[in-house]
Structure formats: C-alpha cells, structure tokens
Amino acid sequence: MSDFNQNKPLPELIGGLLTDVTGLVRKELELAKTEASESLSRALGGIEFLAIGLVFAIGALGVLLSALVAGLAAFLISQGFTQSAGNGLSALIVALLVGITAWVMISKGITALRANNWTFERTAASIGRDAEVVKEKTS
C-alpha cells in the first residue's frame, strides 16, 4: 500500500473500496447490455435469412407447383407417360426442387444463427481486470 492509503482510517478505505466496486459493477452491467444488444443484432441477421427462406419456400410452392407441374406433366405425357403418371411425377419433381431451394435458404439462416457468439468476452475480460484492481487495492 502507498503511504497515502496507510494514512486513511479503515472505514474510509472500506467506503472508498465499496464505492469503487459499485462503480465497476455499474460499468460492467452497461458493457454486458451493450454486448447483448450487439449479439441480438447479429442474431436478427440470421433470422432475416430464415424468414426470407420461408417466404420463398411458400411462394415457390404456390407458383411453381401450379405452373411447373402443368408444364412438366405435359412434357411427360408427350413422352409416353399416362396422364396420371405424368401429373404425379411432375408434381414430385417440382416439389423436390422447391424443397431443395427452401432447405438451402433455411440452412443459411441456421448457420448464421449458430455462428453468432453469445459469450460476452469483453465483459468477462473487463471483470477479470477489475478483480485484479480490487485485489491490488486490498493487499
């Protein structure tokens, strides 16, 4: 301890330490709130990809299943398939294509969400530094 701290009465030193610790806790809480906000913003980017993928999947199912199934069925029928076999096979092919597109978009969104780091590294590091300062003041 420095001579300055040794000349102060113990209650004043404890009061100063409590004030310092309280200030540090407040600052750490602010940092944690900031980091949580940043993490949430990054997560929203992943959720956007999921939403876009779902919208495309639903839209594709409505539009493509009506247009492509009819066109593919006509082609298959012209190649010798029966009408029921051509309709069924064309519906299956179109559904697979739409499903693959939806899967790619949803996977991209999930990957973005998993890549988001939910740990508060700056807060943890700062708390560690603060603990060292408190240890130095108390020793």
- pLDDT tens-digit series, residues 56-89: 888 877 876 788 889 999 999 999 999 999 999 9
Tell me what percent of the chain is helix, strand and coil, each rounded to the nearest 5. 90, 0, 10
Q: How many domains does the chain have?
A: 1
For the segment 88-122, what is each residue's pLDDT rounded down to a tens digit? 999 899 889 888 988 999 999 888 888 776 677 77
> For residue 1, is pLDDT > 50?
no
For residue 86, what are the domain limits? Answer: 3-138
The dihedral sign for the CA sequence 24, 30, 34, 39: positive
pTM score:
0.45
Q: Place 6 in a pLDDT band, splitting at 50, 70 and 90.
A: low
